């Protein structure tokens, strides 16, 4: 049989692609890990749908032979860091996280030389090379806990300045922030919150900790993506009465709106879209699974060092 290329897959219907994905999953003992910001149809084929922490924990415990990571590159890399003997595929190698690219090994090494006493806490939204030079990783779920675990030493917190500031406010720790940011969450302004609250008076406002400090000050809750989903479900009766405005990427909000029809769930702004998260399509998933394309490969020395930083985080989560 002739090997199909990606264009051939794009001509198939969604049902045909899903059948192929299910067949490949069985044949290859694969697991599909999917981030909350992925397109709805990709969320629909997930074996596990979640935030960065949940996906890392799932990657650490899976007994599948093949991990297909529908998210962005650092997430698939983290799965490989945790599973050196398994094959990890990402449906589109161009699916990066612009914030993760705001720091590299060279720039971190020179910051470490300037702050030799600092503990390096690195957000999971980072490359394996940057994790390898870090003492411990964190996610949006556990960043405050990780910072508290460090004790009284100064912390070089990379790469998200907004998450760094949030942790500083929560803990009072001596934090030297990197200047990175998420272009999706950093775009939210207090005027967006004012406008949304005028449109939906009395609504709760929940926000992701990648938002600016002045936006977070206005939030009733500051949570990871899965934390937000859980909060909405746990407070459903209150939210049915008051409504909820959610300050994060649209994928998580669409997930909740379709799972909870009729519940007044509103995006802070409808334009909050992470372009690289949307690169994953059913055609690319079927193609990479059937052809084994787009494997994540890491240098073993870097992987081992990065593993220590990720493992430390998982141990305290």
Question: Minimum CB separation from ligand SF4 for residue 37, in Å?
Answer: 6
Q: Pick from 52, 122, 127, 142: which binds ligand 13P (CB under 6 A)?
A: 52
> Does 182 engage in binding with ligand 13P (CB under 6 A)?
yes
Give the 3-state secondary structure percentages of the chain, helix then strand then coil, rounded to 5.
Answer: 50, 15, 35
Round to the nearest angstrom and report the end-to-end CA distance of the chain: 47
Residue 34 pairs in a beta bridge with 49, 70
Q: Pick from 120, 164, 184, 296: which binds ligand SF4 (CB under 6 A)?
A: 184
Tell me the window of 92-100, 133-141, 167-175, 253-261 that interacts with ligand SF4 (CB under 6 A): 92-100
Is the Cβ–Cβ distance between 191 and 215 less than 8 Å?
no
Report the residue number, 187 or 220, with the smaller CB distance to ligand 13P: 187
Q: Tokens 């299910």 identify what position?
A: 22
Q: Pick from 33, 49, 53, 72: which binds ligand SF4 (CB under 6 A)?
A: 72
Tell me the window of 19-27, 135-143, 181-189, 193-201 that interacts with ligand SF4 (CB under 6 A): 181-189
Total residue count of the chain as it appears in this document: 317
* Ramachandran bin of 272, using left for φ above 0, alpha for ψ from -120 to 50, beta for the remaining angles: beta
CA–CA dist 164, 158 (Å, integer): 8
Give start and end residues of each alpha helix (H) in 133-189: 143-149, 161-171
Q: Pick from 79, 211, 274, 289: which binds ligand SF4 (CB under 6 A)?
A: 274
Mark 115-154 with x for binding to ligand SF4 (rule: CB under 6 A) and - for no binding: ----------x-----------------------------
Alpha-carbon distance values, 78 to 65, 126, 134, 267, 313 (Å): 16, 9, 14, 29, 12
> Does 245 engage in binding with ligand SF4 (CB under 6 A)?
no
Structural tokens at position 277: 């998260």
Is the Cβ–Cβ distance between 229 and 255 less than 8 Å?
yes
Report the residue number, 43 or 118, with the smaller CB distance to ligand 13P: 43
Is the Cβ–Cβ distance between 196 and 223 less than 8 Å?
no
Give the three-class secondary structure for 243. coil
Tell me the window of 80-88, 136-144, 178-186, 236-244 that interacts with ligand SF4 (CB under 6 A): 178-186
Report the residue number, 50 or 243, with the smaller CB distance to ligand 13P: 50
Question: Minimum CB separation from ligand SF4 for residue 96, in Å?
Answer: 8
CA–CA dist 18, 14 (Å, integer): 6
> Does 51 engage in binding with ligand SF4 (CB under 6 A)?
no
Q: Pick from 70, 88, 99, 232: which binds ligand SF4 (CB under 6 A)?
A: 99
What residue ranges bind ligand SF4 (CB under 6 A)? 72, 97-99, 125, 182-184, 210, 249, 274, 277
């Amino acid at each position: 049989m002739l090997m199909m290329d990606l264009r051939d897959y794009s001509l198939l219907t969604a049902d045909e692609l899903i059948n192929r994905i299910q067949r490949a999953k069985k044949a290859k003992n694969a697991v599909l890990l999917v981030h909350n910001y992925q397109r709805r149809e990709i969320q629909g084929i997930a074996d596990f749908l979640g935030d960065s922490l949940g996906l890392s924990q799932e990657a650490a415990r899976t007994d599948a032979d093949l991990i297909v990571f529908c998210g962005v590159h650092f997430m698939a890399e983290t799965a490989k860091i945790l599973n050196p003997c398994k094959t990890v595929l990402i449906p589109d190698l161009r699916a990066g996280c612009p914030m993760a690219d705001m720091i590299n090994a060279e720039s971190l090494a020179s910051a470490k030389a300037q702050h030799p006493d600092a503990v390096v806490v690195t957000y999971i939204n980072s490359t394996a090379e940057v994790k390898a030079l870090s003492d411990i990783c964190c996610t949006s779920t556990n960043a405050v806990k990780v910072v508290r675990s460090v004790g009284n030493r100064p912390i070089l917190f990379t790469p998200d300045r907004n998450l760094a500031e949030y942790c500083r406010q929560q803990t009072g720790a001596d934090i030297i922030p990197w200047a990175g940011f998420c272009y999706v969450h950093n775009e939210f302004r207090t005027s967006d919150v004012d406008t949304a609250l005028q449109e939906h008076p009395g609504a709760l406002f929940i926000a992701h900790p990648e938002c600016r400090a002045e936006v977070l000050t206005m939030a009733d809750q500051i949570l990871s993506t899965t934390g937000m989903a859980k909060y909405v479900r746990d407070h459903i009766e209150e939210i049915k009465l008051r409504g909820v405005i959610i300050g994060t990427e649209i994928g998580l909000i669409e997930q909740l709106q379709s799972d909870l029809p009729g519940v007044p769930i509103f995006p802070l702004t409808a334009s909050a879209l992470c372009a690289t998260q949307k690169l994953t399509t059913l055609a690319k998933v079927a193609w990479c699974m059937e052809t084994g394309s787009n494997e994540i490969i890491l240098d073993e020395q870097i992987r081992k060092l990065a593993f220590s930083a990720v493992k430390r985080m998982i141990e305290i989560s």
